[in-house]
Amino acid sequence: MTSNIFGTSGIRRVFQNYSESDLMFTPQMALEVGLALGTYLNGGTVVIGIDIRTSALPIEYALVSGLVSTGCTVKTLGIVTTPTLAMSSRYLNADAAVMITASHNTPEYIGLKLWNPSGLGFSPEQEEEIERIYNEKAYAKTQWYEIGKVTHVNDINDIHILDITNRIIFDGSELNIIVDPGNGSGCEIVPKLLTKYNINIVTINSQMDGRFPGRASEPSKENLEQISKFLKISPQEDIGIALDGDADRVIFLDDKGEIVDPIRLLTLMAKRYIEENKEKLSKKDMKVSTPINSSSLLEDVLNPLGCEVLRTEVGDIKVAIALKNHGGFLGGETSGTYIWPRFHYGPDSIITIAKVLQMIISSGKNLSELLKDIPKYPYYAEKFKLKRDIPFNETMNSNIIDAMKKVFESMGKDIRKINQLDGCRFDYDGGWILIRRSGTSPYLRISGESNKDLDSTISLNKLAKEKMMQLDIIYP
């Protein structure tokens, strides 16, 4: 019996010390993934980083055991952010890197994410080969004298910061910032980076703790009420910065304490980059990459500037692959991940923080002023617990399409386009709605946008939910 161990963002499951099911993440599973990866690499050097989750330690030791058993040299970084791990390979002359994390998931989850030396996550084809070796137990056989070695690297945060500060230069002594790392692995590197720029900082939830006592790890609106209140009552702070558990996501709050929509910020940064560098940009460079669930304001703002928007499946790896294959200067997702190809192909919140603050300093404007030129389209999203692990195949998509055609007919709206790149996206006059299964947790996600009003978007989402309940996909 074969197992599909990889999802949208590597492997991610609830930790258990022993289980006969691949639905849980056990040290035994980590050992065998290490054996499979080591076999795939045929030896070589692998860098390993971990986040602050309590289950990261047994998973790390098991993974290292599998890798060195196949002759790999392992370099451990200890607790680091995912961006730091993603950029580390090229400095450490590694053949691959592994981050042990469950990103923004709740504390009981743990997982692995695999990276190429370029900072690009493993492609679906690479993951399929690892999966094949794992399922067939076709592990390389090594002799006692072929076992690999393990060394520890202590200064990788300093290397990451130096790489950024050498290329993004400004004096931030006039800025006041509140940082909320959410008790995650960004607790050390982000304040350290801001100090290098002479920025005045205040931190909350800045003690590393894998139980996430300060707030839930995902930097969502409901989880960022504390930092929002601080900004609203404080006359000094100019901006808020919030991260998830492994700091691959970053959410900004403006000087009024309002959460900045990541796609509006992506659009703003792309627009300013084009305006400042248009003469230097080739046609191949004039592209940004974003998934199918991102706002259409990207096209509305950037297409008139001559910039193409590359649409992908959901997931930062898909965004990065599009940038690598087709060119482009920036990528991003609705979740708050941003990719800067000139640095590396991994999502990097640390670079993004420096870029946003440099933009504020160079413009002489605060973030809310800068965003005035970027439209705000009404957007609404919900997630619903799946009744069972339903495969979202051609048959399921067909059922969803038939159901949604009835919804649009009842509302007197015409479907202009149906896109099945990832789930089912329905574009209609004035907006769109997307229905897709989450790639990282057992949920159905329904999101939609209108360039007219929020009420119509919410109404359409609610009707879609009713149809999904009738199809017996989600709970009431």
Active-site residue set:
103
Question: How many residues are given for the chain?
Answer: 476
Sort strands 24-25 and 150-152 into parallel, antiparallel or unpaired. Answer: unpaired
What are the start-end ranges of the H helices in 137-236?
156-167, 186-196, 225-233
- Angle subtended by helix axes 394-410 and 454-470, to nearest 10: 130
Helix (H) or strand (E) holding 433: strand 431-437
Continuous segment of H or E residues that includes residue 91: helix 82-91
Instruction: Determine contact, residues 291/312, Cβ cutoff 8 Å.
Output: yes
Could you tell me which residues are beta bridge partners of residue 436? 445
If you search the block for the tokens 């399409």, which residue do you land on? Answer: 401
Among candidate residues 130, 136, 158, the one with its CA nearest the CA of residue 63 = 130
- The 3-state DSSP class for residue 90 equals helix
Query: Which two structure tokens, joined as six digits, stand for 42?
Result: 């045929």
Nearest to 335 by CA among 256, 266, 255: 266
In the structure encoding, which two tokens stand for residue 127, read together?
């993951």
